[in-house]
């Protein structure tokens, strides 16, 4: 199980050909109080970089982008009723979707934890 | 809110305090201002409704407009300065009592709103012939140019935006401010007095932009930071950023210029007809009077309304409003109301659908989301009348 990160502050935890996707703790902190999460339908297909979800704070709405291409196996419906979970546990309980990866080679374009930490440091 | 120019951002006299308290600074109206502090927008919002929030609004445009002949201890001097400003605004300024403040709008010739502003008649007998005016920060250069062009030779404009203007808002505001301005408790909503503090001349007004009881205080720049620190040291008080300022005013149903008000919107459409008092409706004599008086008589074609989304998705500014599948209006302010724990919005809709309870659809990211027209404010105002 390996976790990868994007420059748009998503994470993806990969096991075999499935990946669990969410936004990072850093991103949640930048957004502030999350009040709404809009998730895709199960079965929806996304290419890498497509916006597949929306996360809204009191002040603004932000798109969430697919770290890699894939189709949605499952969405975390609990976020709809408890969007504040994103602030409490962004990289755990507050996962957004599970994806079936369509091209695992895309993962090589993502950052590991150390590289992502350095990337955030630079911001 | 992105800054499209490369001119350096201005800073208020309280900038060092914003940094010290961990404010996240953004560009706003040409200034570097805190959008939030470490506790976050929601917490700041709820704190203000429960305790007292302190807002730096020094970026706004406080100014004094004085008769060219100067002030004098004579009520007729007020009538003279009022007559001058009444050529630009539709409110009854002449009828203000000493120390009374009033919301009004600056109009263009088509009756559209160029800014919203608060005009105060000084209470002090020897300051008659002067008006204390606070305009929006983003509009102050425009407004002041209009005042100067229209009133050249008759009145003198003195900007006061080099000082500190702060707001203290919330149920604890009176007791906290009263520790240093004991006379503030004697003011009612929309009343104002000159008060001295350690020799500094301060203007204390009981008004605000949150729907809560509270005050706005203009103090000289050199006295500002030390005084503001005294209030921040009070355990009831926290600094509040622009994010919570916006959610508080939205719940209170108050307009944000450039969003809910603009040069093509009239005060009648904006549901601000109440700023036009009886005498002005009878005699007119303000820019765009023909359109505005007609709209007062026949009703406007569109109207500003409150909107409650019936699901959890907020509808942001620019969201189209549909009624039975037909585009019928647009959201001009929208977000989440922490006190209501629900999304809230304001917008303009065809007058036929403006009645509270009317079912509408908000087109959020291409999907129709059910909502209904709601009366404003969303939360009852707690002004001390």
User: Helices B140-151 and B75-85, interaxial angle, to 10°?
Assistant: 110
Model confidence over B316-353: pLDDT tens digits? 999 999 999 999 999 999 999 999 999 999 999 999 99
Task: With a cut of 70, say whether residue B360 has pLDDT above it.
Answer: yes
Q: Same domain, yes or no, for B208 and B145? A: no
Q: Is residue B268 part of a domain?
A: no
Model confidence over B373-383: pLDDT tens digits? 999 999 999 99
Q: Is residue B196 part of a domain?
A: yes
Say what the pLDDT of residue B198 is.
83
Model confidence over A34-56: pLDDT tens digits? 999 999 999 999 999 999 999 99
Cross-chain residue pair A58–B35, CB shorter than 8 Å: no
Say what the pLDDT of residue B3 is.
45
Q: Is residue B2 part of a domain?
A: no
Q: Same domain, yes or no, for B67 and B216? A: no
Q: Same domain, yes or no, for B83 and B120? A: yes
Cross-chain residue pair B314–A54, CB shorter than 8 Å: no
Interface of A with B (CB under 8 A): 32-33, 35-36, 38, 54, 56-61, 80, 83
Closest Cβ–Cβ partner in A33, A56, A80 for B314: A56
Last residue of a domain, one of B159, B183, B204: B159
Task: With a cut of 70, say whether residue B33 has pLDDT above it.
Answer: yes
Q: Which residues form the domain of B364?
A: 301-385
Nearest CA to B344 among B320, B304, B377, B322?
A: B377
Q: How far is A51 from chain B (nearest CA, A)?
A: 12
Q: Same domain, yes or no, for B355 and B223? A: no
Model confidence over B290-300: pLDDT tens digits? 999 999 999 99
Q: Same domain, yes or no, for B354 and B371? A: yes
Cross-chain residue pair A32–B365, CB shorter than 8 Å: no
Model confidence over B57-101: pLDDT tens digits? 999 999 999 999 999 999 999 999 999 999 999 999 999 999 999
Q: Does residue B35 sit at the A interface (CB-CB below 8 Å)?
A: yes
Average pLDDT rounded to a whole number, residues B170-177: 98
Closest Cβ–Cβ partner in B243, B313, B365 for A59: B243
Last residue of a domain, one of B130, B159, B188: B159
Q: Is residue B136 part of a domain?
A: yes
Nearest CA to B243 among B48, B44, B61?
A: B44
Q: Which distant-in-sequence residues (6+ apart) come within 8 Å of B289 by Cβ?
A: B90, B111
Say what the pLDDT of residue B5 is.
52
Q: How far is B127 from chain A (nearest CA, A)?
A: 42
Alpha helix locations (H) across B21-119?
Answer: 41-50, 75-85
Q: Same domain, yes or no, for B127 and B49? A: no
Domains and CATH numbers, chain A: 2-103 (2.40.50.100)
Check residue B257 and report its DSSP letter: B
Beta bridge partners of B134: B62, B118
Q: Could you tell me the CATH number of the domain that includes residue B368?
A: 2.40.30.110
Cross-chain residue pair B313–A36, CB shorter than 8 Å: yes
Model confidence over B253-307: pLDDT tens digits? 999 999 999 999 999 999 999 999 999 999 999 999 999 999 999 999 999 999 9
Q: What percent of chain B has pLDDT over 70?
A: 98
Calpha distance B236→B10 (Å, rounded): 30
Last residue of a domain, one of B98, B130, B159: B159
Q: Is residue B351 part of a domain?
A: yes
Kindly report the three-state secondary structure assignment for every residue of chain A. CEEEECCCCEEEEEECCEEEEEECHHHHHHHCCEEEEECCCCCCEECCCCEEEEEEECCCEEEEECCCCEEEEEECCHHHHCCCHHHHCCCCCCCCEEEEECCHHHHHHCECHHHHHHHHHCC
| Four-residue CA torsion sign, B335, B339, B341, B345 | negative
Q: Same domain, yes or no, for B343 and B383? A: yes
Q: Is residue B34 part of a domain?
A: yes
Cross-chain residue pair B40–A33, CB shorter than 8 Å: yes
Say what the pLDDT of residue B6 is.
59
Report the DSSP pairing between strands B52-56 and B237-239: parallel
Average pLDDT rounded to a whole number, residues B235-251: 98
Cross-chain residue pair A58–B335, CB shorter than 8 Å: yes
Cross-chain residue pair B336–A80, CB shorter than 8 Å: no
Q: What percent of chain A has pLDDT over 90?
A: 93
Q: Is the ipTM of this complex over 0.95?
A: no
Q: Could you tell me the CATH number of the domain that includes residue B124?
A: 3.30.70.1400
Q: Same domain, yes or no, for B102 and B49? A: no
- Token readout for B213 is 């009881």
Torsion angle in degrees (nearest 10) through CA of B260, B264, B269, B271: 40
Q: Same domain, yes or no, for B179 and B211? A: yes
Cα nearest neighbour of A51 on chain B: B365
Q: Is residue B207 part of a domain?
A: yes
Q: How many domains in chain B?
A: 3
Q: Is residue B155 part of a domain?
A: yes
Say what the pLDDT of residue B7 is.
74
Q: Same domain, yes or no, for B134 and B189? A: no
């Amino acid at each position: 199980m390996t976790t990868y990160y994007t420059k748009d502050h998503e994470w993806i935890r990969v096991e075999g050909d499935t990946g669990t996707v969410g936004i990072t703790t850093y991103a949640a902190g930048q957004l502030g109080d999350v009040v709404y999460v809009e998730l895709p339908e199960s079965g929806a297909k996304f290419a890498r970089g497509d916006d597949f979800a929306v996360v809204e704070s009191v002040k603004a709405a932000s798109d969430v982008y697919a770290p890699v291409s894939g189709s949605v196996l499952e969405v975390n419906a609990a976020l709809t009723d408890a969007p504040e979970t994103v602030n409490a546990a962004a990289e755990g309980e507050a996962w957004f979707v599970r994806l079936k990866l369509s091209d695992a080679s895309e993962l090589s374009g993502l950052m590991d934890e150390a590289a992502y930490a350095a990337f955030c440091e630079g911001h | 809110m992105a800054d499209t120019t490369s001119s350096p951002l201005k800073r208020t006299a309280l900038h060092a305090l914003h940094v010290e308290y961990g404010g996240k600074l953004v560009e706003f109206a040409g200034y570097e201002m805190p959008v939030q502090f470490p506790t976050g927008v929601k917490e700041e919002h709820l704190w203000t409704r429960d305790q007292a929030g302190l807002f730096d609004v020094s970026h706004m445009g406080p100014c004094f407009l004085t008769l060219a002949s100067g002030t004098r201890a004579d009520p007729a001097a007020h009538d003279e300065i009022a007559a001058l400003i009444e050529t630009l605004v539709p409110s009854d300024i002449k009828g203000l009592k000493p120390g009374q403040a009033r919301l009004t709008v600056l109009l263009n010739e088509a009756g559209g709103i160029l800014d919203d502003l608060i005009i105060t008649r000084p209470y002090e007998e020897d300051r008659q012939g002067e008006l204390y005016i606070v305009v929006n920060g983003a509009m102050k250069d425009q407004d002041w140019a209009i005042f100067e062009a229209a009133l050249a030779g008759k009145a003198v404009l003195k900007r006061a935006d080099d000082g500190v203007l702060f707001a203290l808002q919330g149920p604890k505001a009176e007791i906290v401010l009263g520790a240093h301005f004991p006379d503030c408790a004697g003011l009612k909503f929309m009343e104002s007095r000159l008060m001295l503090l350690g020799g500094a001349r301060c203007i204390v007004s009981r008004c605000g932009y949150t729907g809560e009881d509270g005050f706005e205080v203009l103090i000289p720049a050199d006295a500002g930071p030390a005084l503001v620190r005294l209030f921040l040291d009070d355990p009831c008080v926290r600094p509040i950023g622009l994010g919570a300022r916006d959610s508080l005013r939205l719940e209170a149903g108050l307009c944000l210029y450039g969003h809910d008000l603009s040069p093509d919107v009239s005060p009648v459409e904006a549901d601000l007809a109440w700023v036009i008092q009886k005498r002005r409706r009878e005699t007119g004599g303000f820019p765009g009077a023909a359109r505005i008086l007609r709209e007062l008589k026949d009703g406007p074609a569109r109207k500003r309304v409150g909107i409650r989304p019936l699901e959890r998705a907020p509808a942001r500014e620019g969201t189209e409003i549909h009624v039975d599948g037909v585009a019928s209006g647009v959201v001009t302010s929208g977000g989440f109301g922490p006190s209501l724990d629900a999304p809230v919005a304001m917008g303009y809709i065809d007058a036929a659908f403006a009645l509270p309870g009317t079912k509408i659809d908000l087109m959020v990211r291409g999907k129709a989301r059910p909502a209904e027209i709601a009366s404003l404010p969303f939360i009852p105002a707690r002004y001390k009348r």
